[in-house]
Structure 1
């Protein structure tokens, strides 16, 4: 056997956790000003008051979630009187689901899944907050999903006006938005706007040099010395910048390392990176498809199948074909298509002709969409 072959019990990973996209790094660079501003907004909660409301806005993979989690980690290490609750709105995107996660944070388990009303759960949460003199800080990550489901006003109204029904409750909200087309000031109604009044913290895309520093730090912590050369690190950085999402680069590193291990090599080669990118570049598609409801998955499947032969699709014609197999009204169908446009799964454009024609195009290779739907 050749001496340079990787043995079955050897690995190229120094610490595989470092190359997970939800890993929380000890040293978190290039977001100091955003974290300082967030800390200022939260500070009243540390003194027993209501935290100031905040909107964190930026493209996917710009450090919003990590910044929130770092701040929440520090809060939990400092005090028990300010309780931070992180909620992923891709998964929990209804008023009941969100209050159930808050209940879980305070009690240690979810409320009964059946026979329990929203009011009963919220009553229980409010009693705990008042009795224990706890200030609540709720982070709604990817809150744009609440907009797609028309839940944003219900959720914010319930949380921010809770003190009117339950005197003594103090709740602050951090709303995290990854859809740059969303204008939250227009999306919320007057009842919510009057108590929300958030400060917006912008998370700009990482600069080229910043991406390189972040990826280099992950390589040094996650892989053994010599596994990835400087020239191939440049390739990883280039692919990360091409995708516009830091998470794609991290996933790419993990997959490329696994590819090298599978081939029993002691270092990553160019082919490992290029092959891994062909999977990692669909990271957004993979995660987004998982959040769709059955009805939405049916519509997306239909669009993907039709896109194989028809790149541009007339929305009216698509609906006529869809309703033959899916029981759905046009209003609901169009709401789903608009949601998919907002989620960057399709492009929805208007074309002047006989009236304004709505044209739907798929943003991804339809074969890949069908693959992830399966």
Structure 2
């Protein structure tokens, strides 16, 4: 048998990277209003003043991270031309599955001198980590913009969002200035913050709404011109990918994935051009991948709960009450080496959030005086996808 890769040709793609999630476009399309709000929110940095805090809201795939990267790169370029601007440092941390201590420790370790020992994982508390952070900020001076992606998944976000914006006013730092940029997939995240945190932040809120089909079409046209060889992608394929994504979540990431996977389908069929039929064939694969990514984006205990309900569904035991979910959830969490949440109420709160996010169906039951009123839950997605995704996640944690 000859080399299985021998003779393989790529007649479809010119630059496939343009259709990957890691690609950062030089120009952001269809987010002009959000960029304008962002620009005004951070303009004080150019004049050496303390920056405003900014909170971005919107579901995944709506451009929050891409716009943030674009804005911060543009700001850094402009700062370097301004005598009145302080030196600008940006720090980006994904908060999913992290505690405040882990986040502050990570910030400290990015600020420490190259020859310094890392801040220890154990033996010191959150207060010690904040103290070291303030020392390092003052050592460097300048303006520090701290980007906290998936801030809604941070354990005890109140502490972080109360401490950092008040650091200068409370005398913890004198030579440095700090601005917070929070990115949340949860539109209601702010309502969960304590009143004192809301008063402290005084942030600019920028909401990212879903794209419509025309907007997605503009984005896809730009990507297709770069990604595909000449005449290798029909306009009908672009229109269908935009329409399917707009009908679903209004998600640019999903639309771009449809275009990329459609190209892969066409390549496998040895076609010369991506058509709307190839986009249709790509739809199921993209939906499965999108669900897997959404599961990965949830907190670890949300994932354990989804995994628990998936097992119950495999055993034909759903819809199921929260008490039965809680009993099996404890075993699932323990088997993965984590301490389970200790109260039924905490599980019920997570179930409510997962229902709101569309992972679960919830059924209200009323058995009158004898049984009372309660909810039962079942998955609103394929149990196999949940179990498969969780297995992959645990394998990478080993």
Give the TM-score normalised by the residue count of structure 2. 0.81
How far apart, CA to CA, are the structure 2 residues paired with 1:31 and 1:136?
25
Q: How do residues 189-200 of structure 1 correspond to structure 2 at under 5 angstroms? A: 189-200=194-205
Q: Is the 8 A contact 1:14 1:224 kept in 2?
A: yes
- Which shows bigger deviation, 192-201 or 326-335? 326-335
How far apart, CA to CA, are the structure 1 residues paired with 2:294 and 2:34?
27
How far apart, CA to CA, are the structure 2 residues paired with 1:203 and 1:297?
26
1:356 maps to 2:373:
yes
- Which shows bigger deviation, 200-209 or 295-304? 295-304
1:31 maps to 2:43:
no
Residue by residue over 1:45-104, the C-alpha shift from the partner in whole angstroms, topping out at 9 and shown as x without a partner, is 23222211222222332221111110111123233712222222235x321232234335
- Which shows bigger deviation, 72-81 or 118-127? 118-127
Inter-CA distance 105–10: structure 2 relative to 1 (3 Å threshold): same
How far apart, CA to CA, are the structure 2 residues paired with 1:235 and 1:277?
10
Residue 94 (structure 2) aligns with:
88
The correspondence for 2:159, drawn from 154, 158, 165, is 154
Residue 253 (structure 2) aligns with:
247
Residue 60 (structure 1) aligns with:
60
C-alpha displacement at 1:133, in angstroms? Answer: 2.4
Q: Secondary structure, in 3 states, of the residue corresponding to 2:42?
A: helix
Residue 97 (structure 1) aligns with:
102
Q: Is the 8 A contact 1:102 1:125 kept in 2?
A: yes
Residue 141 (structure 1) aligns with:
149
Q: Secondary structure, in 3 states, of the residue corresponding to 1:27?
A: coil
C-alpha displacement at 1:369, in angstroms? Answer: 1.8
Residue by residue over 1:184-222, the C-alpha shift from the partner in whole angstroms, topping out at 9 and shown as x without a partner, is 0x3111331221122222222222211111111111111
Inter-CA distance 225–335: structure 2 relative to 1 (3 Å threshold): same
Q: Is the 8 A contact 2:355 2:361 kept in 1?
A: yes
The correspondence for 1:373, drawn from 385, 390, 395, is 390
Q: Is the 8 A contact 2:46 2:78 kept in 1?
A: no
Q: Is the 8 A contact 2:295 2:303 kept in 1?
A: yes
Residue 208 (structure 1) aligns with:
213
Residue 3 (structure 1) aligns with:
none
1:72 maps to 2:77:
no
The correspondence for 1:236, drawn from 217, 234, 241, is 241
How far apart, CA to CA, are the structure 2 residues paired with 1:241 and 1:310?
35
The correspondence for 2:121, drawn from 111, 114, 117, is 114
Q: Secondary structure, in 3 states, of the residue corresponding to 1:219?
A: helix
Give the TM-score normalised by the residue count of structure 1. 0.85
The correspondence for 1:125, drawn from 110, 133, 139, is 133
How far apart, CA to CA, are the structure 1 residues paired with 2:95 and 2:354?
16
Q: Is the 8 A contact 1:7 1:264 kept in 2?
A: no
Count of matched residue pairs = 363
1:258 maps to 2:264:
yes
Q: How do residues 215-230 of structure 1 correspond to structure 2 at under 5 angstroms? A: 215-230=220-235
How far apart, CA to CA, are the structure 1 residues paired with 2:15 and 2:253?
17
Q: Is the 8 A contact 1:243 1:281 kept in 2?
A: no
C-alpha displacement at 1:297, in angstroms? Answer: 4.0
C-alpha displacement at 1:260, in angstroms? Answer: 2.4
The correspondence for 2:360, drawn from 339, 346, 358, is 346
How far apart, CA to CA, are the structure 2 residues paired with 1:294 and 1:170?
33
How far apart, CA to CA, are the structure 2 residues paired with 1:348 and 1:155?
33
Residue 49 (structure 1) aligns with:
49
Inter-CA distance 236–173: structure 2 relative to 1 (3 Å threshold): same
Residue 303 (structure 1) aligns with:
309
Q: How do residues 160-175 of structure 1 correspond to structure 2 at under 5 angstroms? A: 160-163=165-168, 164-168=170-174, 169-175=176-182
Q: Secondary structure, in 3 states, of the residue corresponding to 1:139?
A: strand
Residue 319 (structure 1) aligns with:
326
Give ranges in structure 2 of 5+ residues lacking alignment: 1-5, 80-85, 335-339, 392-398
How far apart, CA to CA, are the structure 1 residues paired with 2:16 and 2:52?
37
C-alpha displacement at 1:335, in angstroms? Answer: 4.2
Q: Is the 8 A contact 2:108 2:136 kept in 1?
A: no
How far apart, CA to CA, are the structure 1 residues paired with 2:47 and 2:363?
50
Q: Which has the higher contact order (CA 8 A, sep 6+)?
A: 1
1:282 maps to 2:288:
yes
How far apart, CA to CA, are the structure 2 residues paired with 1:210 and 1:292?
28
